[in-house]
A and B are shown apart, each in its own frame.
Chain A
Amino acid sequence: MNALVEVDNLNLHFPIDDGFFKEKLTLRALTDVSFSVEEDETLAIVGESGSGKTTLGYTISGLLTPTSGRIKFGAALGGHSQKRPVQLVFQDPFSALDPRMMVGDIVAEPLRLQGVSRAERLQQADDVLEQVGLPAESARRYPHEFSGGQRQRIAIARALIAKPKLIVADEPLSALDVSIQSQILNLLNKIKRDRTISYLFISHDLGVVHHLADRVIVLYLGRIMEIASRQDLFATPSHPYTQALLESVPRIGRGRRKPGQALKGEIPTPLSPPPGCVFHTRCPRAQEVCRRQIPELLPAPGRPEQLSACHFKD
């Protein structure tokens, strides 16, 4: 497989100036993040709120500029980072679409920026709307005439029209009802079958990730805890944080829960991340070394493809 995007040692720190007399603080949104997205791959990013998932997606889309580190687009694309072949789908389809624009114009807007004529744009918009399962006359209507699931289809159509190599989808299902979620999931899968495209799929829903992803990155407090294929991650999670995340997913068929197994505490503030391993404050396995030394992202024992940042990994 060929790498589509290579992310190398990415750091994104926001200085916080909280008034003249206050000490200047740094919010460490992303620290030493390195990974690649392959062609035709679905890479999922999971983690709790505040783990840096969205920030990472925005940085790769070019909406945020990293403090240090590099994001390289594959050689096939000339490594051109000004014209990134990336499109975004946002979480809330109600705020992502301009209520005063016709759906056809919304969908075709990426082409307008490329200087395509309006007639040609609307023609292409009709095509792509049909591909996402909306009736052809949708282009002549306004966003408020559509339900949440249909709006998310419109947002996906807008992302597709510019023929991107990568779609960054930031929690595209969270605002939708369960029965609608599965429709959008199936649509994302269908698009993937029809064309060569990669997804960077940001989600907190491990059930969805399990259904869709080829590989998974587990993020915690701006750092990668684990990166592995879907099969490895769900069958043999290596990092204690991944294990805790999987354990906390509600599941049908286990009966009523037995209390006391939930991960304790909450994600610390990125203004002062804990020293050593950032997860040690909540980790059931934490030892002295975890408080001092940051664990490197290294292969799990016997599974060279599964990387885990833990001193006591499985």
Chain B
Amino acid sequence: MSVATPALEVVGAGHVAQPDRPRLLRVSSLSVSFPGAEGRESEVVSELSYEIAQGETLGVVGESGCGKTMTSLAIMGLLPSGAKVSGSIEFDGKDLTAFSPRQWRNHRGREVAMVFQEPMTAMNPVMKVGQQIAEVLVKHERLSKRAAFGRAVELLASVHIPSPERRAQDYPHQLSGGMRQRAMIAMALACRPKLLVADEPTTALDVTVQAQILDLMLELQDTYGTAIQFISHNLAVVSEVAHQLMVMYSGRIVEYAPAEDLFANPLHPYTQGLIRTLPDIAQPMAELYTIPGSVGGKRPSGCRFSNRCPLADARCREAEPALREVTLSHHVACFKVN
């Protein structure tokens, strides 16, 4: 169903929110597809272009199935085998798409690290927490096991885990969900990566613990200057941490803007819908807004949101709108926006 789309001229000129910060990651025209039944390919990420500056947080928002996680796996070099990738991923001047498996292994953990939604499944259940953190340091920094373990204890202390010496000797199941996520962040930051990819890092946590983890991430970003790609389905959570924001729908970017602009002036009907579906504790409403239908199923022709969009007309069902800059560094992919 893919209608020919104009090439995206998004980043480079458009990205001006943080002019003082040098660029760290530049993704251009990234597409990821998987072979499907009867030789057909299903494209899960289409023509994605964005960038992240050093020390900056990019929030990525969208419902399940919109391609958020596939995007982060692509920049981590962790896509399942069989995935077809096109486009380029440039990290600190290096082209990641040309990397060999060996180069990826050296890259991951040192230059870029990932934090997952459920640390219980991301950690090794039969290995002490301290050892798991130390493993990274032994591999990348060539520390001795003893020195690495000592450093692991320091790292646990730096993410505010009480009695870190004792906790380093614990197994993951002995920690609470919040503690595990702290340990996971300590592990990710062990080698001071330049980019941290956090995929729904607070979704499994209580609001109080979520607030603590968000605080921690901001604090560590200030201390180490780490850039963060923060993925979440929850716009409100993202609004608390992001400098830049990217809204995805069905494998595409539909809106991409500095966070303040995006919330002050959401342009895409999908973004507007997402904001309106959130119950707000400041102002009650009799009826919550709902976006009709759901993601997934067969992609409509033309704009991928056209079958759920209140504004869609014939043109939207024929051609796919390109992402374009509407006002300074505010990008949107919609025919209905002037």
Q: Contact: B279 with A252, CB < 8 Å?
A: no
CB nearest neighbor in A for B237:
A250
* Contact between chains at A252 and B281 (CB < 8 Å): no
- Does A149 touch B at the CB level, under 8 Å? yes
Cross-chain contact B177 with A261 (CB below 8 angstroms): no
Q: Write the A242-282 contact mask toward B (1 if CB under 8 angstroms, else 0).
A: 00111111111111110111111010000000000000000
Residue in A closest to B289 when the chains form the complex, CB atoms: A182
Answer yes or no: B327 CB below 8 A from chain A CBs: no
Per the CB 8 Å criterion, the residue count for chain A at the interface is 42
Q: Which of B64, B211, B214 has the most CB of A within 10 A?
A: B211
B177, B260, B282, most chain A CB atoms within 10 A: B282
B145-188 residues with Cβ-Cβ distance < 8 A to A are 176-179
For residue B74, give the distance in angstroms from its CB to the closest CB of chain A: 22
CA of A263 to CA of B215, assembled, Å: 11
Chain B residues within 8 Å of A256, by CB: 218, 239-243, 259
Option from A49, A147, A186, A254 in Cβ contact (under 8 Å) with B290: A186
Q: Is A183 at the interface (CB under 8 A from chain B)? A: yes
A180 to B241, CA, bound (A): 25
Instruction: Say if the beta carbon of A185 comes within 8 Å of chain B.
Output: yes
Q: Does A80 contact B (CB under 8 A)?
A: no
| A18 on interface, CB distance cutoff 8 Å | no
> Are B294 and A179 in contact (CB-based, < 8 A)?
yes
The size of the chain B interface, using a CB distance under 8 A, is: 49
Contact A185 B279, CB 8 Å, known A49-B206, A263-B208: yes
Q: Which of A94-102, A103-111, A161-169, A203-211 is the interface stretch?
A: A203-211
Q: Mark B78-107, 1 if CB is under 8 A from A, else 0.
A: 000000000000000000000000000000
**CB distance B263 to A253 under 8 Å?**
yes
Binding site for A on B (CB under 8 A): 63-64, 176-179, 206-212, 214-215, 218-219, 233-237, 239-243, 259-260, 263, 273-275, 277-282, 284-285, 287-291, 294-296
17 A-B pairs (CB sep. < 8 Å): A48-B206, A49-B177, A177-B295, A178-B274, A179-B63, A204-B206, A250-B237, A252-B263, A252-B280, A256-B239, A256-B241, A257-B211, A257-B215, A257-B241, A259-B219, A260-B215, A263-B211
